[in-house]
Amino acid sequence: MDVAMNVGHFLERAALVYPDRTAIVDEPDLPGSWGRVTYRELHARAQGLGAALREEGLIEGARIAIVSPNSARFLACFFGVSGSGRVLVPINFRLNAEEVAFIVEHSGAELVFFDPEVASSVEGLTVKTIALDGNADASYFQPLGDREPVTWEANEGATCSINYTSGTTARPKGVELTHRNCWMNATTFGWHLAVSDRDVLLHTLPMFHANGWGMPYAATAMGARHVVLRKVDGEEILRRIEAEGVTLLCCAPAVVAAVLDAEQARREAGTSRPSLHAIRVVVAGAPPPSKVIERVEAELNWEFIQIYGLTETSPLLTVNRTRAEWDGLSGAERAKLLSRAGVPAVGVEIAIDDEGEVLARSNHVFRSYWNQPDATNDALAGGWFHTGDGGYLDGPTTVITDRKKDVIITGGENVSSIEVEDCLFQHASVAEAAVIGVPDEHWGEMVTALVVLRPGATTTPEELIAFCKEHLAHFKAPKQVLLREELARTATGKLQKYKLRQEFWRDEQRQVH
């Protein structure tokens, strides 16, 4: 017997088994906040959303976009939109209006939900927009009541979401994830993390980022409690952990650094309190230095787990979690082992091609780039997904050593260096520009621009950074601009970025951070 995989089943199970349990603790003191919501109510609201979309004439396969920080409504969209056969298009709320408009148009989204805090990012859209303020969106998220629920003959090959990611071009690509992709990723991820009904998940990871890595699905399926966090702040994270009994969080290395700083400030103030329960922190985006991992275990008493993956892989590919064989190691020795990408998750195959690129094959690998068949064929050539990362295998363990794609990962966000270079070239004083990532303890990699000015130009690095912030989402703008007399090029005039990177990466064992 084959039963089609549908992410909507995760919430249906939770509402059946744990109807009166708290499902979500929404961000407090926010207009329209849902407060504490049970699984029965969350299910009713998700069903109500599906019915509202149907009543508006948005049929199966229709794309519905959302531009918002983490919220209870965002969580409901995973099930009310995708679970009803529509396609969710989560958009990075840090993008500017031009970038959002491109994604909305490219995806063919017919409706856009947006948070009032980022209203400027949806200005000028020609499709219908709905503010997530508790008033304009009330009819969309009201419980189903006596309305007829949406019935969808689930097709696990149907598109569940289209997640846009920065790549090697100036325009992002839409990663088309199927219900099968998302279902298998969630269950495999949940298995590796031993997610249970006793867990409390703090949403330190943006829900738009590869669907929160699939944890909204996995935690819901097991009846775990979701605690919404809109803005990352180290002290606030510690406070929420204590107030809600958080046991699990996923984040980028920059978030870990913020928490360590907050804990250090507490110790210096004499207000530090040890964790009273086990906490697992799952980190990805860029491998943090082993010293940071050692501090997480020693100073926070948390279990550090690293994963590796990409939006195109839903995202789980490898998992690095401490094992019984490491129990006798020192903290420093264990941290060094945990700094590697990890071993293949269940159902994942990893290989290294002749050029040193990491290849992957699994049920988590995406179906295609939305409306970009050539890019899809290149990425899936030979029946393997080409990650664009360089690395090697140490036994079963994948070790990432370099990034072949022209992408910088800073604070967990992907930045296309080409996109930033294109922006810099719009400035009248710029003759040449090369954008690279340089190692940074806080951000993982810091977006850095090496710039040659036109003869007679007098602009400053600060002015160039401000110019980029006017035209790009702020996280994409260079954090430093270094003026140069010339840039290393080949005989044919092509930039030699590996040479430009050398002065910054000379003392690093690997070429990603």
Q: Are residues 417 and 482 in the same domain?
A: yes
Longest CA span, the chain: 74
Q: Are residues 3 and 138 in the same domain?
A: yes
CATH of the domain at 395: 2.30.38.10
The token pair that represents 415 in the structure block = 């930045």
Q: Are residues 416 and 398 in the same domain?
A: no
Q: What's the structural domain count of the chain?
A: 3
Is the omega angle on the peptide bond into residue 461 within 30 degrees of 0, that is, cis?
no
> Is residue 234 included in any domain, yes or no?
no
Q: What is the pLDDT of residues 472-497, one digit of tens each?
A: 999 999 999 999 988 876 544 556 77
At 170 the pLDDT is: 57
CA angle at 431 for the pair 426 and 432, rounded to the nearest 5° = 95
Q: What is the pLDDT of residues 82-121, one digit of tens each?
A: 999 999 999 999 999 999 999 999 999 999 999 999 999 9
- Dihedral of alpha carbons 417, 420, 425, 431, sign: negative
At 291 the pLDDT is: 83
| Eight-state DSSP code of residue 208 | T
Q: Are residues 8 and 151 in the same domain?
A: yes
From 457, 352, 441, select the one nearest 394 (Cα to Cα). 352
SS3 127: coil
- 403, 428, 449: which is the final residue of a domain? 403
- Asked if 6 contacts 179 with a C-beta cutoff of 8 angstroms, the reply is yes
From 41, 50, 33, 35, select the one nearest 14 (Cα to Cα). 41
Show the domain range for 366.
Answer: 349-403
Number of Cα atoms under 13 Å in the Cβ half of residue 36:
5
What does each C-alpha distance from 180 to 37, 75, 152, 170 come to in angstroms?
28, 19, 15, 30
Q: What is the pLDDT of residues 319-376, one digit of tens each?
A: 999 999 999 999 989 998 998 999 999 999 999 999 889 999 999 999 999 999 999 9
At 292 the pLDDT is: 84
> Is residue 261 included in any domain, yes or no?
no
> Is residue 240 included in any domain, yes or no?
no
> Is residue 320 included in any domain, yes or no?
no
CATH of the domain at 62: 3.40.50.12780
Q: Are residues 57 and 127 in the same domain?
A: yes
> Is residue 110 included in any domain, yes or no?
yes
- Asked if 66 contacts 112 with a C-beta cutoff of 8 angstroms, the reply is yes
Q: Are residues 418 and 497 in the same domain?
A: yes
Residues 413, 239: Cα–Cα separation, whole Å: 25
User: Can you list the pairs that 384-387 forms with residues at least 24 positions away whose Cβ atoms lie under 8 Å?
Assistant: 384/351, 384/359, 384/360, 385/312, 385/313, 385/359, 385/360, 385/361, 386/353, 386/357, 386/359, 387/310, 387/313, 387/317, 387/357, 387/358, 387/359, 387/360
What does each C-alpha distance from 77 to 227, 323, 400 come to in angstroms?
16, 36, 34
Q: Are residues 56 and 103 in the same domain?
A: yes
At 140 the pLDDT is: 98
| Eight-state DSSP code of residue 298 | I
> Which residue numbers in the chain have pLDDT < 70?
167-170, 286-287, 402-406, 489-495, 507-513
At 492 the pLDDT is: 43
Residues 254, 299: Cα–Cα separation, whole Å: 17
At 494 the pLDDT is: 53
Residues 198, 398: Cα–Cα separation, whole Å: 31
pTM of the full structure: 0.84
